[in-house]
Structure 1
């Protein structure tokens, strides 16, 4: 009896130990793998990015006089609803189902502009509806110009949300011809941006004060679609943007920005999708881009307007996005004089014969600046036109400010049908692209593997291009 009991206790002890070991094994399986290398920073950066919250109260624009139908201008009614919401401590300014015509919309602190399902804000084609002039950045240069269609200046806790549509109402007869290109509707005798763009370049170089950089009427400088300027805690979520006049989403000098589940479909001139400029702590997640220019372009000012303040774009996470047409999927530059660092792009899908590049860094010695710590992984590409990765230090004219590009790592890039090249690089001998790594990548069907000149400390690890392992850089 005693022996039998001892065997029982021994068996119970073994069973308990086995169960405990099994539990530990299961817990170990459930625990995510710890990140290593540069990606170990990701969670700490993500923790700095929070979504603003708003009081639970609503202000319908119809209650302030807005009329659906797309014929009556509702600018004043929308402004009144935003003002009332702000003065009441914040909440949601609701755009109900229907089409509402408006001029410039200026957001105020603690206001969430919410478009209900089936709601469309259609923006006026009359440039006068974007006056008075406001402080803006245009291609990385500061000026007083037409108000962006949706604008906020030095506000906190602002949002644009909902399953509605923002319609810029631009086309081959409105806004787009101002770019001066015939294939976008410009004709001889029409006004275009070219002389004013040149003038603004000169003003920037000569350090003309902002208050004297007066543009607007008669200058044909297209306003951006959405531009929060020097704002904190910005959310843009779920909306669809179409028919943009120029850049779509353009936060400038902002901190704590989330762009999530946004759909951008607009193929006009300079119709960049999302261009955070000199911004810190930015999340661009689960968005769709089908654009007339770069899908995502990270910027930090052009020439003196970027170099002198020296404010980089930093701590930017891009994930879960899909890119179709565009000059590049993930782009840094070219207005990058303030620099860019700590950019993490992962879990992306790209596929279009009209997508020029997957990852593109473009700058020049007129720009200067340092681009560093750019990390991309887990990207699936159907096809692209020119290069999977392109570095270009000779974008536009040269100057006296040699740029720096370093620490760029691409992992798990899978391309089914590549374009002309796998990698392109055009750099200065005195400033080669430094520490470029490709790890666990496969790129098929490219015409040529490399078109590169000055690169230093380049590493290829388990990289297959056109079915052959690439172990070193071939010029």
Structure 2
């Protein structure tokens, strides 16, 4: 009896004490991680769970699919996905061939696997895309389904050496952007018409519920390509993606995402390669981005909608990637109102006369947002058009973009970066007097050629350590 009471007392102590011990250890780990942010990155990597699937295959041909590039296979994909998830999961296999389809909606425990020489061709007819809860340029709405879509799913993947072809090049998807270089002409409807994109932004500003922001037919807002919405534990591996209507890889409100070995080659309007938004614990590695917009653009919602959701994007890791064409290699913003922190970029190659910047943060006083703790190391940069590092609180591409939400940009570090040609400036940073760009460090950075060393306005504590631009050692600025 005494032994039992002693055992019971000890168990009670452990129930109370264990969480305290755990929290204490966690606090020490966090303190060490702050001292060395790269240790924090390692901890994030170790914390991300891996997808696991049953060893069962569901070949789409067994569900009626025909890979002739002409037969419509939406129902076959739907049946295969439903059978797979209903039986505990596995692989939905797309074999050799070209498979025309409407949107594919994934379910729990499903790995959409494209074999070698398999290609999925997505319809360019808007009527094939149902209205779902999605997002357009950082604002939630009811709009055309993404080409591949998963909402509230866990343990999901897209894998294999095949091709996902959005077929958007020179079709209505690109024309809807309103860009003349994409086929738009005066008189053709586009997202820029007064009743379209700006109406959506106005709805968000007025607090209209998402369920009542109904767009789709007649509103000309293009769908995302691959969107994981409120998902957990996702893998996208080895596939090639071409000819996207809009943003290409878009995890939104999702956690624990790995993008590995993916090739994105799509030069359409707003063809960002990967846009994590309101998302956490993301690894993007071993990928190639050749895009019509930013290669990687980390997002956190636009204006009032971003502040409504209020989920920062954080713990975003980019490793061993190659960036070719694009507006920026790794970009944060401009849809950034909920903030971004803990971004790690390492061992990447960026090089193209059509790549504007290597690292960029873009926001303004309408967006707001706190952007902090961005760590970059070991970059090989060939040519960029404008500058290597751009930190801008006055981003303005849609007309007037000023408001009462002064942003914050602080704690940005570049280390071991080699650049052959930087264009206008080595570094470009602009802040507000009341909110300067602060605590920026460039260590062991060599920029062989730039028109000017830098453009710096309203900055504080800019540290240039063993950094050379045009063979000139750059001095730190502490003001």
Q: TM-score by structure 1 length?
A: 0.91
Q: Counterparts in 2 of 1:340-351, with a 5 A limit?
A: 340-351=340-351
**2:349–2:380 contact (8 Å) kept in structure 1:** yes
CA distance in 1, matches of 2:312, 2:204: 18
Q: Counterparts in 2 of 1:52-451, with a 5 A limit?
A: 52-131=51-130, 133-194=131-192, 195=194, 196-396=196-396, 397-451=401-455
- Which residue pairs with 1:6 in the alignment? none
* Count of residues in correspondence between the two structures: 441
Which runs of 5 or more residues in structure 1 are unaligned? 1-33
CA distance in 2, matches of 1:358, 1:120: 32
- Which residue pairs with 1:12 in the alignment? none
**2:114–2:161 contact (8 Å) kept in structure 1:** yes
CA distance in 2, matches of 1:172, 1:121: 18
CA distance in 1, matches of 2:216, 2:172: 16
CA distance in 1, matches of 2:424, 2:282: 32
CA distance in 2, matches of 1:73, 1:191: 28
Give the secondary structure class of the aligned counterpart of 1:70: strand
CA distance in 2, matches of 1:364, 1:144: 27
Going from structure 1 to structure 2, the CA distance change for 1:35 and 1:342 (only over 3 Å counts) comes to closer
Q: Could you give the per-residue CA deviations for residues 216-271 of structure 1, whole angstroms, max 9, x where no partner exists?
A: 00011000000010000010000000000001000100000000000000100000
- Deviation for aligned residue 1:37: 2.2
CA distance in 2, matches of 1:276, 1:420: 29
Going from structure 1 to structure 2, the CA distance change for 1:278 and 1:35 (only over 3 Å counts) comes to closer
Going from structure 1 to structure 2, the CA distance change for 1:425 and 1:35 (only over 3 Å counts) comes to closer
**1:307–1:368 contact (8 Å) kept in structure 2:** no
Give the secondary structure class of the aligned counterpart of 1:372: strand
CA distance in 2, matches of 1:339, 1:418: 28
CA distance in 2, matches of 1:110, 1:38: 33
CA distance in 1, matches of 2:323, 2:52: 29
- Deviation for aligned residue 1:40: 2.0
- Range moving further from structure 2, 374-383 or 181-190: 181-190
CA distance in 2, matches of 1:373, 1:38: 9
**1:140–1:299 contact (8 Å) kept in structure 2:** yes
**2:463–2:478 contact (8 Å) kept in structure 1:** no
**2:462–2:478 contact (8 Å) kept in structure 1:** no
**1:450–1:474 contact (8 Å) kept in structure 2:** no
- Which residue pairs with 1:453 in the alignment? 457
CA distance in 1, matches of 2:147, 2:454: 42
**2:177–2:269 contact (8 Å) kept in structure 1:** yes
CA distance in 2, matches of 1:209, 1:127: 24
- Deviation for aligned residue 1:188: 2.1
CA distance in 2, matches of 1:189, 1:450: 43
Q: Which has the larger radius of gyration?
A: 1
- Which residue pairs with 1:39 in the alignment? 38
Give the secondary structure class of the aligned counterpart of 2:315: strand
Going from structure 1 to structure 2, the CA distance change for 1:471 and 1:139 (only over 3 Å counts) comes to same
- Deviation for aligned residue 1:55: 0.4
- Range moving further from structure 2, 215-224 or 390-399: 390-399
**2:415–2:442 contact (8 Å) kept in structure 1:** yes
Give the secondary structure class of the aligned counterpart of 2:385: coil
CA distance in 1, matches of 2:200, 2:431: 28
Give the secondary structure class of the aligned counterpart of 1:400: coil
- Deviation for aligned residue 1:418: 1.8
- Deviation for aligned residue 1:206: 0.4
Give the secondary structure class of the aligned counterpart of 1:128: helix
**2:124–2:171 contact (8 Å) kept in structure 1:** no
Q: TM-score by structure 2 length?
A: 0.91
Going from structure 1 to structure 2, the CA distance change for 1:474 and 1:243 (only over 3 Å counts) comes to farther
- Deviation for aligned residue 1:472: 2.5
Runs (4+) off by over 4 Å: none
* 1:467 is aligned to 2:471: yes
- Deviation for aligned residue 1:39: 1.5
Q: Could you give the per-residue CA deviations for residues 60-89 of structure 1, whole angstroms, max 9, x where no partner exists?
A: 011001111110110010010000000000
CA distance in 2, matches of 1:229, 1:271: 19
- Which residue pairs with 1:27 in the alignment? none
CA distance in 1, matches of 2:264, 2:477: 37
- Deviation for aligned residue 1:322: 0.1
Q: Could you give the per-residue CA deviations for residues 16-74 of structure 1, whole angstroms, max 9, x where no partner exists?
A: xxxxxxxxxxxxxxxxxx99622121211111223211000000011001111110110
